[in-house]
Structure 1
Amino acid sequence: MTINIQYQDMPTSESLNEIVTRNLNKLAHKFQFLIRADVLFKVENDPTGNGKICEVQLSAPGPRIFAKSNENNFEKAAAATLSDLNKQLQKRKEKISKRKKTL
Structure 2
Amino acid sequence: MKTIIETPNFNAKDSLTDFVKLHVEKLETLSDQIVESRVFLKLDKFDNKENKVCEIKVSLPGNDLFASKHADSFEEAVTLSVDALKHQLKRWKHA
Same fold by TM-score greater than 0.5: yes
Match of 2:60 in 1: 60
Percent sequence identity is 25
Supply the distance in 1 between the matched residues of 2:50 and 2:25 (Cα, whole angstroms): 27
Match of 1:100 in 2: none
Q: Is the 8 A contact 2:7 2:42 kept in 1?
A: yes
- Which is richer in helix? 1
Match of 1:91 in 2: 91
Supply the distance in 2 between the matched residues of 1:2 and 1:55 (Cα, whole angstroms): 16
RMSD (CA atoms): 1.1
Which structure would you say has the larger RCO, counting Cα contacts within 8 Å and 6 or more residues apart? Answer: 2
Supply the distance in 1 between the matched residues of 2:25 and 2:49 (Cα, whole angstroms): 31
Counterpart mapping for 1:1-103 below 5 A: 1-95=1-95
Supply the distance in 2 between the matched residues of 1:61 and 1:52 (Cα, whole angstroms): 30
Larger Rg: 1 or 2? 1
User: How does the TM-score come out when normalised to structure 2?
Assistant: 0.93
Report the residue type matching 2:51 in the other structure: G
User: How does the TM-score come out when normalised to structure 1?
Assistant: 0.86
Aligned residues: 95
Runs of 5+ in structure 2 lacking a partner? none
SS at 1:49 equivalent: coil
Report the residue type matching 2:22 in the other structure: R
Q: CA deviation at 1:62?
A: 2.5
Runs (4+) off by over 4 Å? none
Supply the distance in 2 between the matched residues of 1:25 and 1:76 (Cα, whole angstroms): 16
Q: CA deviation at 1:67?
A: 0.4
Q: CA deviation at 1:8?
A: 1.3
Supply the distance in 2 between the matched residues of 1:78 and 1:7 (Cα, whole angstroms): 13
